[in-house]
Structure 1
Amino acid sequence: MLIQSVFAAAREVFSPALRRILWKSIGLTLALLVLVWLGLTKLFDIFLTNHDLSATYPIIDSFAFFLAGFGLFVALVYLLPAVSAVVAGYFLDDVAEVVEHKDYPADPPGRALPFGKAILYGIRFAGLSLLVNLVALLLFFIPGINIGAFFVANAYLLGREYFELAAGRFWPAEDVARLRVEHRGTVLAAGAVLAGLVLVPVVNLITPVFGAAMMVHLHKKLTRGRAAI
């Protein structure tokens, strides 16, 4: 069931029907990452200026700038799931409409989430993801735990977010939560796929569209034969 959903999403993510949405999603993701990068760089620059390391310890100053580049890159990796959450909330309905129309034409179409609600969903999960990944970032220098903590935390968060966004087009919030708990193992496994995708440079930029398409398929398979309210 999950494997079928993964392959279906992989086939569709670069299809003509989703290509325009994919490029827009990548553009928004990159724009948000650039904004985060500029913000972090500015904060680090202010810190170095206020502490005036160059005047007293020029070697430490140079080393600090070297670590800043690497450190900011690592920080962006840990922040990517939160950025993905915002982008997914913005584009999920567009992706879902394409997938539902193409692959499930006989089924009643889902109801698009109100724009404000979709964005709030994304921001809510982005905030939770940011908090969890900041904790995971603190474990970065502990071998054997750092990647594991990042992977497990994001498998749960991404699986939960994308499933709730996809299922929310058909079910009230309380039923969405019930379905997620009922199929928590499958939802977690789907989240693990997305968490693994986030770890792959460049390819991780397709996470919002791929994740939305995959979870639409998975939700359809999990609820086949059950009437949505």
Structure 2
Amino acid sequence: MLIQSVFAAAREVFSPALRRIVWKSIGLTVALLVLVWLGLTKLFDIFLNNHDLSATYPIIDSFAFFLAGFGLFIALIYLLPAISAIVAGYFLDDVAEVVERKNYPADSPGQPLPFGKALFYGLRFAGLSLLVNLVALLLFFIPGINIGVFFIANAYLLGREYFELAAGRFWPAEDVTRLRAEHRGTVLAAGAVVAALLLVPVVNLITPIFGAALMVHLHKKLTQNPAERMPLRRDNHASIEKA
């Protein structure tokens, strides 16, 4: 099931139907990375200017600039999951519509999340990811632990949040949580695939689109049993409750 979803998502990312969305996603990801890079560089420059090392310790000053360049690059790697979260939240409905229409035409289409809820999910996802990866960044100089913490933490977060975004197009929040809990192992494994992709330079730029497509396919496959074949639309759910 998971392997089928992974290969289906990989084919989807490079399909003509998603090509325009992929390029837009890469453009937004690069733009956000550049903005973060400029912001971090500016902060470091302010720090050096407030602590004038060049006059007394020119060697330390030069080493600080070299370390800053390497340090900022590492910081961007740890910030990439949070940036990916923002991009994924922005493009998920576009990706889901294409995947659902192309691969599941007989099923009822999902409903895009309301803008406020989509924004909340995206910011929550980014905030959690930023917090977890800042903790992981503190462990960067501990060999054997740094990569492990980064991978496990992001496998959990990416699996949970991407799945909730995809399933949220069909189910009320409490049912999304139930589905994720029932299939926690599969969702975590899918998150691990996305987290592994984040570790591959350049290829990690397509993570938001790949992750979105993967979870759309996975959600569909997980809800194909008779008890869950017809996901509850939010509007149908609300009308049932009112009745």
TM-score, normalised relative to structure 1 = 0.99
Following superposition, the deviation at residue 134 of structure 1 comes to 0.3
Task: Find the counterpart in structure 1 of residue 77 from structure 2.
Answer: 77
Cα distance in 1 between the residues matched to 2:34 and 2:161: 24
3-state SS of paired residue (1:111): coil
Letter matched to residue 176 of structure 1? V
Cα distance in 1 between the residues matched to 2:67 and 2:114: 43
| Structure 2 residue 100 is the aligned partner of structure 1 residue 100 | yes
Structure 1: gaps of 5 or more residues = none
Residues matched between the structures, number: 229
Cα distance in 1 between the residues matched to 2:195 and 2:55: 43
Following superposition, the deviation at residue 7 of structure 1 comes to 0.1
The aligned runs of 1:4-153 (5 Å cut-off) are: 4-153=4-153
Structure 2: gaps of 5 or more residues = 233-243
Following superposition, the deviation at residue 119 of structure 1 comes to 2.0
Following superposition, the deviation at residue 117 of structure 1 comes to 1.6
TM-score, normalised relative to structure 2 = 0.93
After the TM superposition, which of the residue ranges 114-123 and 180-189 deviates more from structure 2?
A: 114-123
After the TM superposition, which of the residue ranges 114-123 and 45-54 deviates more from structure 2?
A: 114-123
After the TM superposition, which of the residue ranges 179-188 and 114-123 deviates more from structure 2?
A: 114-123
Runs of 4+ in 1 over 3 A off after TM superposition: none
Task: Find the counterpart in structure 1 of residue 211 from structure 2.
Answer: 211
* Identity score, percent: 87
3-state SS of paired residue (1:55): coil
Letter matched to residue 212 of structure 2? A
The aligned runs of 1:158-169 (5 Å cut-off) are: 158-169=158-169
Letter matched to residue 104 of structure 1? Y
